[in-house]
Structure 1
Amino acid sequence: MTPEEMASVREDLEAFAAELFDGFFRADQRRWGQAYVRGLLLDGRRKSVEPMAARLGEDGNRQALAHFITSSPWDAAHVRARLAWRMHEAIGPEALIIDDTGFLKDGDASACVSRQYTGTAGKVTNCQVGVSAHLATDHASAAVDWRLFVPASWDPASPRADEVKVARRIRCGIPAQVGHVEKWQLALDMIDETRSWGIDIPLVVADAGYGDAAAFRHALEERDLPYAVGISGRHTAHPAQAQPVQPVCTGTGRPAEMQNPEPAQPVKDLVIAAGKAAARPVSWRQGSRPGKGRSGFKRMYSRFVALRVRPAGRGVRKAAKDLELPERWLLAEWPTGESEPVQYWLSSLPSGMPLATLVRLAKLRWRIEHDYREMKQALGLAHFEGRTFNGWHHHVTLVSAAHAFCTLQRLAPDPKDTAQA
């Protein structure tokens, strides 16, 4: 990068940071917020406060940076809202993607550290778990909200509370009102918060860790939010053509409720009954590995079955008199060479949705994995060494800001192309 290009990027960063931190009343908070984001963007293996301070030159005040990120009372939600407004405009998102990632820890002094499962390690290990929400489309995505998961062992109101961990809550600055709730409920909190910022959510995408919770799907329907969420094959449903019937009433008591004539079946059985011949080939995006495609990269390709079904359980109705179970998409990936489907989704997208579009949107979750990889490998997402609840939220928010800045730089037109035009 030429000195002129570096100067241009520095100016862009200053303007971006000024927009994010405009609501800060104190000039020193605006200064250290920009410095912290710049430190995350500078080359270097470790992105904790001390090594970043060593790279920041005149802004390399370790004590000031540590105070800003760990103790300074600024509201992370304020920055996230501004970040969401900026990235919604830049990306034009097709979905809000929900997922969680692990922050591996050696010790047990940091807020909400516990032995728990994380896909980051693929096992139960000592870690924190953060739930995040990302605005996304095929070409770009940005993390705009976060929650730190509080294990039951950290919640004094839980029967599984650990006295030692509960005693650490004050030292870690965990607010008294913050307790253990399921990750899908944290996801709903973020969805509600994102909408409160005036952000339109066209679709919610999540894996089976969230889609398996019927309460999560029902809550999305209560909010009139379309979804495409992973589920496990054990969930049950009726074929779309199944209609409830009124049982014959032989007594004088209360009439029996409408019932389906056949019991619900596992979705796996419904897809297998449709047969492998029902699977259709779909290519949904360009992959990252070299291939023989026109772009030089391999296309992502598989075979899919899409059925209209009525998920078992009454779920959410618009009116009490509506006794018919809602009709939804059941999407299953059934690759060539596999004896049975390998992945399933439920979706409330319209019945006329083309299969290729349905697959592409359900598979859009890949963007969140891309974001996690970039934020962890290049921007120090998991490098925060502070122990406080607010410090964790401050750090992940500013890492999201650094990642968003990189995304904006990638989306910006090349000055050379503009000059040639």
Structure 2
Amino acid sequence: MDVQALRQLKPELDRFLDRYAPLFGRDEAAAHAHRFVQGLLLGGDRRSVENIAEAIDGCVVRSLQKFIAQSPWSDDQLLEQLQGDVVADLGDPDAVLNVDETGFPKKGTKSVGVKRQYSGTLGRTDNCQVGVFVNYRSTKGHALIDRRLFVPEEWAADAPRRTSAGVPEALVFRTKPQLALGMVQQALARQMPFTWVTGDSVYGDSPTFVQGVRGLGKWYVVDTSADARVWVAEPVVVPAGTKGTRGRATTAPRVTTTPERVDAVVAGLPATAWTRVVVAEGSQGPRIFEYASLWVWFSEEGLPSGRERLLVRRSVGQEPEVKCHRSNAPAEIPVERLAQVRGCHWSVEQSFQAAKGECGLDEYETRGWVGWHHHTALSLLALWFLARQKCRLGEKRAPDERARGTGLARPSARHAALG
């Protein structure tokens, strides 16, 4: 956003930030927050504290650094109010929570949680931090609403390193699926309306995550890897304590049959199993895939899940790409609706692009726990302001943001872009 555009939106931004001002405590801290968000929206070569202080009147570098890295205001309270505002504008009982992670490239070893680890953002293993995020998506729009910093196990076990980075004493190691589940649980506790949860195979292959979402009474459409195991017929589970032929009682439940790999099951599907579905209206016309669906029982740590659908998506072309999903939605939910829900996952990727490109989500220079959480919370706040303004000003959505109607493939007119 250039200076002129920001100046035109200044009255709206002032009113927007005034709603959050009491959460920062002192008036001086609220003023720092106001200027910092302006700096994030202003853009420039890099939205570090120093650059923001140079660009925004009234900023003092050291005071702004202290506000981000040390000030006692609660980023969780800030995001709780943001979530309430998102519900007020976008809330829908049939909404989708999309979970995903993104990487933040870093040099050195002192930034909290940094290590050589895989980052989908970079497409490789590199020195970086990883944050797990949740995006709220309804037919009215979408927004990033929460995040958790992934702290690797070696970091969590290193007391001197934790102390140096300001990691809270109560923090224990949590996997990415555990972090994501915690945010889904918190969204439900804060009475955010939603029915669906999506995620890639990091979450779909995690028994902790899928069992946790099922326990909340929510439905998921999550990716599953090709080497996941399933039973295509309900397996027989022998309970613990059952005596075998030799008179010995089993110490744990066991299954009498061996599950198959997902890719082997997919390879055996007949040609009649596939149906063409329009997933979305893209910039080049309808986005069409072929889908197949069958009921299976997934192996979760060797034991069967409840009866679920294995949803297989195949691209249309000479060299089709196949992706597999799993869903615990009941039988009355059609395949077309499951495809539509999984298609909503695009919005979290778009949110990452906007948050980094327009709101400086990845342009922080602070190394500590408090600084990372303060910076990312204010970036999410800036992103939410932009989302509200685009809606208020009636800007046309990008092609992939058009109404994502889904149905059987058939000739159809292109949907008009929505303001």
Class of the TM-score when normalised by the shorter of the 2 chains: 0.7 to 0.9
Instruction: Judge which range, 394-403 or 62-71, deviates more.
Output: 62-71
SS of equivalent residue, structure 1 residue 33? helix
* 1:354 partner amino acid: P
User: Among residues 288, 308, 323, which one is paired with 2:295 in the alignment?
Assistant: 308
| Equivalent residues in 2 for 1:140-151, closer than 5 Å | 140-151=141-152
Q: Distance in 1 between matches of 2:206 and 2:394?
A: 45
SS of equivalent residue, structure 1 residue 263? coil
* Counterpart in the other structure of 1:419: none
* Counterpart in the other structure of 2:62: 63
* Counterpart in the other structure of 1:195: 188
* Counterpart in the other structure of 2:130: 129
Q: Distance in 2 between matches of 1:315 and 1:172?
A: 39
| Equivalent residues in 2 for 1:71-150, closer than 5 Å | 71-92=70-91, 94-137=95-138, 140-150=141-151
* 1:51 partner amino acid: N
Q: CA shift at 1:350, angstroms?
A: 2.1
User: Among residues 314, 332, 335, which one is paired with 1:352 in the alignment?
Assistant: 332
* 1:134 partner amino acid: N
CA contact (8 A) 2:279 2:286 kept: yes
Q: CA shift at 1:341, angstroms?
A: 5.9
Distance 1:51 1:277, change over 3 A: same
Q: CA shift at 1:249, angstroms?
A: 8.8
Q: Distance in 2 between matches of 1:209 and 1:246?
A: 29
User: Among residues 173, 180, 200, which one is paired with 1:207 in the alignment?
Assistant: 200
Q: Distance in 1 between matches of 2:113 and 2:210?
A: 27
Flag structure 2 segments of 5+ consecutive residues without an equivalent: 396-419
2:377 maps to 1:397: yes
2:364 maps to 1:384: yes
* Counterpart in the other structure of 1:319: none
* Counterpart in the other structure of 2:347: 367
Distance 1:98 1:6, change over 3 A: closer
Q: Distance in 1 between matches of 2:302 and 2:9?
A: 51
Q: Distance in 2 between matches of 1:246 and 1:148?
A: 41
SS of equivalent residue, structure 1 residue 22? helix
Q: CA shift at 1:89, angstroms?
A: 2.0
Distance 1:261 1:107, change over 3 A: closer
| Equivalent residues in 2 for 1:167-206, closer than 5 Å | 167-206=160-199
CA contact (8 A) 2:221 2:328 kept: yes
CA contact (8 A) 1:76 1:394 kept: yes
Instruction: Judge which range, 192-201 or 396-405, deviates more.
Output: 192-201
Residues 237-263 of structure 1 show CA distances to partners (whole Å, capped at 9, x for unaligned) of 222x53648899997969999987753
* Counterpart in the other structure of 1:284: 279
* 1:84 partner amino acid: Q
Q: Distance in 2 between matches of 1:120 and 1:414?
A: 31
Distance 1:33 1:373, change over 3 A: same
Q: Distance in 1 between matches of 2:238 and 2:169?
A: 51
Q: Distance in 2 between matches of 1:115 and 1:336?
A: 37
Q: CA shift at 1:33, angstroms?
A: 1.2
SS of equivalent residue, structure 2 residue 168? coil
Distance 1:249 1:152, change over 3 A: closer
* 2:46 partner amino acid: R
Instruction: Judge which range, 134-143 or 368-377, deviates more.
Output: 134-143
Distance 1:366 1:119, change over 3 A: same
Instruction: Judge which range, 71-80 or 131-140, deviates more.
Output: 131-140
Q: Distance in 2 between matches of 1:57 and 1:343?
A: 51
CA contact (8 A) 1:268 1:341 kept: no
* Counterpart in the other structure of 1:418: none
2:14 maps to 1:19: no
CA contact (8 A) 2:43 2:359 kept: no
CA contact (8 A) 1:117 1:125 kept: yes
Distance 1:52 1:245, change over 3 A: closer
SS of equivalent residue, structure 1 residue 308? strand
How large is the Cα RMSD of the aligned pairs?
3.1
Q: CA shift at 1:326, angstroms?
A: 1.5
Q: Distance in 2 between matches of 1:395 and 1:302?
A: 39
Q: Distance in 2 between matches of 1:146 and 1:250?
A: 49
User: Among residues 332, 354, 359, which one is paired with 2:312 in the alignment?
Assistant: 332
| Equivalent residues in 2 for 1:223-262, closer than 5 Å | 223-239=216-232, 242=234, 244=236, 262=257
Distance 1:315 1:134, change over 3 A: farther
Q: Distance in 1 between matches of 2:237 and 2:384?
A: 53
Distance 1:252 1:136, change over 3 A: same
Distance 1:300 1:45, change over 3 A: farther
CA contact (8 A) 1:49 1:62 kept: yes
Flag structure 1 segments of 5+ consecutive residues without an equivalent: 292-297, 317-323, 416-421
CA contact (8 A) 2:165 2:367 kept: yes
